[in-house]
Structure 1
Amino acid sequence: EERATVDTVLISHWHHDHTGGIADVLSTAPDAAIYKYDPEPGHKGIVDGQKFHVDGINLTAVHTPGHTKDHMVFVLAEEDAMFTADNVLGQGTAVFEDMSEYLRSLHQMRQLFSGRAYPGHGPLVEDGPGKITEYIEHRQQRVDQVLQTMRGSNDGIDAGGTRWSAMDLVKIIYSDVPDALHPAACNGVLQILEKLASDGIVIKHDRDLWQ
């Protein structure tokens, strides 16, 4: 009805739910240019800070690794808004590959706009920076829970010498969550432990034990 044409497609990251429709787009618009950070053969690359202009709309691409290494968000100048892709969702929290990178990206994203966030999943968020602040605070809360558990300050017992597996920590921190969801939570706890190890706060031992 709109007689719209597609000449540019911006891909936020490599996950199939964000790339799986490329073939269908190209079947309808075979001359469309596909842009992505670290692109596939035949596609065009995106660099941090690259600008795109379409019918009076101005987008700036920003490399924000965390959810994935190649993750990009796009700042919409006309609305002072951001397409946050999968680093920030419309509901719930996001998964990530590297927590240190993810937190750096969240802090960076929060400074780049003051309006809405258009996420890759879920409803739009009216206060985008506010939602990002919630994400940062939530992650810090989880870090604090891991450290508190490892130090034993919940019950007054000094557990500083105990060696923990990620699942040991999950069973305490996520005790109110069904066991079936513990493996998914374990990945997030592992990311926290890796960050704490890189910060010199915890030590990683053999057999994936942490102290």
Structure 2
Amino acid sequence: MAAVIPAVTKISPRVIRILGCNPGIMTLQGTNTYIVGTGKRRILIDTGDEGVPQYLNHLRSVLNYEGIDLAHIFITHWHHDHIGGLNDILVELKEKTRYCQIWKYPSCKDDINKNEMIEPLKDGQEFAVEGATLQVFHTPGHTDDHVVLHLVEDNVIFSGDCILGEGTAVFEDLFDYMNSLKSIANLNPTTILPGHGNVIQNPSEKISFYLAHRAERESQIIQTLNSNRSKSFNEEDLVRIIYVNLPENLVKSAQSNVNHHLVKLLREQRVKKLDDRWQACDFNEVKSR
């Protein structure tokens, strides 16, 4: 069983974690938000979900107790449990956000881009407040706009939903996601602070596990298709075969992951699609291409 995450935790002299108080199947114990810096004006990473008074109360208490105003709010990606609480914070804590800049990497989601309050982040951009320097790294895959933030002073990565404290992450584009994992590995962080789940003290092992896990899933899909060449399968068929003892409420997410693997394999000409079903390519088909 995962260790219980307190509502408020001082991770280090530079980082305070505030739990979003929005537990669920996909959010685990809730969305982790982080206050970063040591001075009066600090940075908030992610804003939790909308309509969660308990989270706002915890955030307000920390800001008041520490005497903090927010200089910047960074959104790691467009999912509602990371950006949904933004308007609540700006309305309910306006005395703490009066001179705050809000930042997010541009997304293909037009409704997000049209929000005039939000300024566009750029890959490699750097921000500094007292006691903390954050570098922005665009890490697409989970979503097209996903970023991680590197706390230079402590060599810590705020990983959003690219890497979780428990379990594995879902993604929109497997090819991009795998490259993003490798990019984070190249930063060689000492610690990862995820968007969900507890602190990751063994980043290298965790990232290696994620990469190996995706390679294993791909191998299982190929093996299933190759062992049944006369048959075709949809995503649910493959989930039922490959994912052992999967809770029913996670089947849809697993189907989405399998689909992303199949799309990647299709691009690599290792599978073929017949309407809404999938089949292994035979040797002659691959050779003729």
TM-score under structure 2 normalisation? 0.68
| 8 Å contact kept, 1:165–1:210 | no
Q: Aligned residue for 2:42?
A: none
Matched with 1:90 is: 165
Answer yes or no: is the 8 Å Cα contact 1:26–1:32 preserved in 2.
Answer: no
Q: Does 1:34 align with 2:98?
A: no
Amino acid paired to 2:137: V
- The one-letter code sitting in structure 1 at the alignment partner of 2:232 is R
Query: Quick one: percent identity of the two aligned structures?
Result: 38
Instruction: Give the match for residue 155 of structure 1.
Output: none
The correspondence of residues 194-209 of structure 1 with structure 2, limited to 5 A, is: 194-209=263-278
TM-score normalized with structure 1 length: 0.92
* Matching residue within 109, 124, 135 for 2:210: 135
Contact 1:50 1:60 in 2 (8 A): yes
The correspondence of residues 47-58 of structure 1 with structure 2, limited to 5 A, is 47-58=122-133
Match of 1:121 among 189, 196, 210: 196
**Superposed counterparts of 1:1-211, under 5 Å:** 1-27=65-91, 28=93, 29-38=97-106, 39=113, 40-152=115-227, 159-211=228-280
Residues 61-82 of structure 1: per-residue CA shift (max 9 Å, x gap): 0000011110000011111110
Contact between 2:271 and 2:278, CA under 8 Å: does it hold in 1?
no
**Secondary structure at 1:10's aligned position in 2?**
strand
Task: Render the CA deviation track for 1:130-184: whole Å, top value 9, x for unaligned.
Answer: 21111111111111111111111xxxxxx23422211121111124324453222
Q: Name the CA distance, whole Å, in 2 between partners of 1:203 and 1:17.
A: 36
Q: Is the partner of 1:148 in helix, strand or coil?
A: helix
Partners of 1:204 and 1:23 lie apart in 2 by 43
Segments of 5+ residues of structure 2 without an aligned counterpart are 1-64, 107-112, 281-289
Contact 1:82 1:113 (C-alpha < 8 Å) held by counterparts: no
Q: Is 2:170–2:253's contact at 8 Å kept on the other side of the alignment?
A: no
- Structure 1 unaligned runs (5+)? 153-158
Amino acid at match of 2:222: L
Counterparts of 1:66 and 1:47 in 2: how far apart (Å)? Answer: 17
Q: How much is the aligned-residue C-alpha RMSD, in angstroms?
A: 1.4
- Aligned partners of 2:218 and 2:139: how far apart in 1? 21
Q: Rate the CA distance shift 1:114–1:31 in 2: closer, same or farther, 3 A.
A: closer
Query: Partner amino acid for 2:151?
Result: L
Name the stretch that deviates more: 19-28 or 9-18. Answer: 19-28
One-letter identity of the residue aligned with 1:66: G
User: Compared with structure 1, are the counterparts of its residues 116 and 175 closer, same or farther at alpha carbon in structure 2 (3 Å cutoff)?
Assistant: closer
List per-residue Cα deviations over 1:59-111 (Å, max 9, x = no partner): 10000001111000001111111000001000111111111111111111111
Count of aligned positions: 205
